[in-house]
């Protein structure tokens, strides 16, 4: 159970996230929605502690995440893997090594420094790639892959961390519809088969409704909606997206029709 209480983050007096209170049970697939600048990325990055909260606490199964430093913090980051919109892979390095980056915390430091990966670590990385259907690309440089392939490599890196949570910050925002479906399906598979909690920032309401079993709506740094997708009415969407709401709904409707 991930319990967030009173979590806030301010930049030069302005809140990017303000007094967030949510509880996320293990194994759920949560979508975080809201317009640009609502504070979705800030929330996810605070959970991974890439951004330090200015107030409030994050708690996971009784572990106070907000006060962790050093090895404890790195241990937490291993347990909550992160996926980025821009993939954040090391472009000049081959795919397998990129995936093995996710195992850094599971091996002695000297082995990591000398890049002597154990056979088991390499097997785990290959297994992850295989399940994503890209094991044949293992020896290629990451920057030679398409966006969709790169994002699947990034998911593999997250997966081999053997995390309890995967945080995905707009994982499909720079992908085409086909790759969008591929990546979202993989996230769903990970969630269903391995029981890993997935928290996913999404722009598209439609995708959020399709994949998530709970939605968190944010506006101006606050949580304004927290319920099952069915509870997301037109009114609430309007509150989330302001005047854009009609457009967003219409556009997404059109998208689903054409897709």
Partner 1 sequence: MLEAGMLEATYASAVSARRMRSIQGAAVLIIAIGLACWAAEVRPLTLISKIGNFTSYIDRMFQLESGARVWTDPAEWFWGLWKWLGLLRDTLLMAYVGTLAGAFIGFLFCFAASSNLMKSKWVCQGFKRLLEFNRTVPELVFALLFVYAFGLGPVPGVIAIAIHTIGAMGKLFAEVVENIDMKPVEGIAASGGTWVQQIRFAVLPQVQTNFISYTLLRFEVNVRAAAVIGFVGAGGIGDELLTSIRRFYYSDVSAIIVMLILTVMVIDYCTEKLRHRLLGGEVHA
Partner 2 sequence: MSASLPTSSRRDAMLADAAGLAERHAALLGPAWRSELTGWIVAAALFALFCFGLWQLGFTFTMLTHGGSQMLVILQVMLPPNPETWARVVFYLGQLAETLGIAFLGTLIAAIIAFPLGFLAARNVVSNLFIHVIARRVFDTVRAIDVLIWALLWINVVGLGPFAGVLAIACSDIGSFAKLFSEAIEASDRKAVEGVLSSGGTWTQAVRYGVLPQVLPVITSQVLYYFESNTRSATIIGIVGAGGIGLSLSEMIRTVEWQQVSFIVVLMLITVSAIDYVSTLLRRSIIGPSSI
Ligand X SMILES: Nc1ncnc2c1ncn2[C@@H]1O[C@H](COP(=O)(O)OP(=O)(O)OP(=O)(O)O)[C@@H](O)[C@H]1O
SS3 143: helix
On whether the CB atoms of residues 228 and 217 are closer than 8 A, the answer is no
Asked if residue 161 binds partner 1 (CB under 8 A), the reply is yes
Binding site for Mg ion (CB under 5 A): 41
State which of residues 41, 150, 151, 180 lies at the interface with ligand X (CB under 6 A).
41
Question: Residue 76, interface with partner 1 (CB under 8 A)?
Answer: yes
Q: Could you give the CA distance from residue 105 to residue 15 in angstroms, rounded to a whole number?
A: 33
The Cα 163–Cα 126 span in angstroms is: 17
| Number of neighbouring beta carbons within 10 Å of residue 116 | 11
Which of Mg ion, partner 1, partner 2, none lies near 93, with the C-beta cut-off 5 to 8 A by kind? partner 1
Among 24, 38, 58, 82, interactor with partner 1 by CB under 8 A:
82
Task: Give the whole-angstrom CA distance, residue 180 versus residue 82.
Answer: 17
Chosen residue from 36, 70, 139, 193 binding ligand X by CB under 6 A: 36
Range in contact with partner 2 (rule: CB under 8 A) among 62-70, 121-129, 144-152, 217-225:
121-129
* Residue ranges with strand state E in the chain: 2-11, 14-24, 29-33, 55-60, 63-64, 80-83, 165-169, 197-201, 214-219, 222-227
Determine, following the binding rule CB under 8 A, whether residue 116 of this chain makes contact with partner 2: yes
- Copy the structure tokens of residue 251: 């556009």
State the nearest-atom distance from the C-beta of 75 to partner 2, in Å: 13
Q: Per rule CB under 8 A, is residue 195 in the interface with partner 1?
A: no
68 binds partner 1 (CB under 8 A): no
By CB under 8 A, name the binding residues for partner 2: 25-29, 96, 114-119, 122-124, 126-128, 130-131, 135, 138-139, 159, 162, 164, 191-197, 213
């Amino acid at each position: 159970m991930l319990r967030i209480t009173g979590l806030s983050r301010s930049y030069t007096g302005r809140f990017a996230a303000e007094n967030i209170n949510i509880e996320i049970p293990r194994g759920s697939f949560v979508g975080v929605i809201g317009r640009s600048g609502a504070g979705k990325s800030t929330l996810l990055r605070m959970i991974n502690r890439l951004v330090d909260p200015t107030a409030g606490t994050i708690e996971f199964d009784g572990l106070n995440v907000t006060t962790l430093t050093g090895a404890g913090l790195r241990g937490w980051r291993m347990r909550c893997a992160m996926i980025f919109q821009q993939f954040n892979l090391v472009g000049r390095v081959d795919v397998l090594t990129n995936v093995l980056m996710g195992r850094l915390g599971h091996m002695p430091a000297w082995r990591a420094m000398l890049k002597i990966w154990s056979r088991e670590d390499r097997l785990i990385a290959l297994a992850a790639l295989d399940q994503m259907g890209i094991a044949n690309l293992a020896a290629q440089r990451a920057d030679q892959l398409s966006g969709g392939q790169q994002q699947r490599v990034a998911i593999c890196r997250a997966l081999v961390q053997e995390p309890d949570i995967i945080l995905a910050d707009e994982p499909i925002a720079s992908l085409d519809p086909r790759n969008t479906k591929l990546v979202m399906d993989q996230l769903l598979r990970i969630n269903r088969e391995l029981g890993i909690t997935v928290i996913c920032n999404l722009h598209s309401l439609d995708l959020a409704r399709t994949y998530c079993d709970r939605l968190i709506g944010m506006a101006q740094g606050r949580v304004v909606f927290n319920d099952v997708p069915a509870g997301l009415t037109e009114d609430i969407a309007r509150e989330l997206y302001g005047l854009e709401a009609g457009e967003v709904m219409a556009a997404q409707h059109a998208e689903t029709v054409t897709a």
